Amino acid sequence: MAKTLNLEVVTPEKQVFSDEVQSIIVPAAEGYLGVLPNHAPLISGLKPGVVKYRQEGKTQLLAISGGFMEVSSNKVTILADTAERPEHIDIERARAARERAEKRLKERPPGLDVARAEFALQRAMARLRTAGLNG
């Protein structure tokens, strides 16, 4: 029985991560989902949120803004619209995005695309949590 999984995280722009990990937790469409070695094959949609993986006994985080995950033969592929490691997150930009989205959702101007504002808020909160701040 395998003790690790190969995790690969790719966006349309680049490969963000590719390595062996011990476990993964992803923001699946139905809620957070854990994947351990020898997991059954699976395809799932992902929401904006935080991907957590364990490597050499440490938990590491990545912010993603939604996409898909495929699990097959101890390989987990995450195809994400965007994905950032903590050190690449611009905290001020994420804070500004969160404030913009919160203001729109509070003021509800006519014609507001509520779902779009909610997704923008979730992306910003995922980035802040990944950077170690309160989303």
What residue ranges in the chain does DSSP mark as E strands?
5-10, 15-21, 23-28, 31-35, 42-55, 58-72, 75-80, 83-84
Among 97, 117, 121, 125, binds ligand ATP (CB under 6 A): 97
| Closer residue to ligand ATP in complex, CB, 26/84 | 84
Give yes or no for a contact between 49 and 83, defined as CB atoms under 8 angstroms apart: no
Among 2, 59, 75, 88, binds ligand ATP (CB under 6 A): 88
| Closer residue to ligand ATP in complex, CB, 61/89 | 89
Among 33-41, 49-57, 93-101, 107-115, the segment contacting ligand ATP (CB under 6 A): 93-101
Residue 127 binds ligand ATP (CB under 6 A)? yes
Quick one: tokens of 29?
């469409």
Residue 89 binds ligand ATP (CB under 6 A)? yes
Quick one: tokens of 68?
């898909």
Tell me the site size for ligand ATP, rule CB under 6 A.
12
- In single-letter form, the type of residue at position 96 comes to A
User: 112-116, long-range: CB within 8 Å, 24+ apart, which pairs?
Assistant: none
Give yes or no for a contact between 61 and 51, defined as CB atoms under 8 angstroms apart: yes
Window 59-78: contact mask with ligand ATP (x via CB under 6 A): ------x-------------
| Residues that bind ligand ATP in the complex, under the rule CB under 6 A | 65, 82, 84, 88-90, 93-94, 97, 120, 123, 127
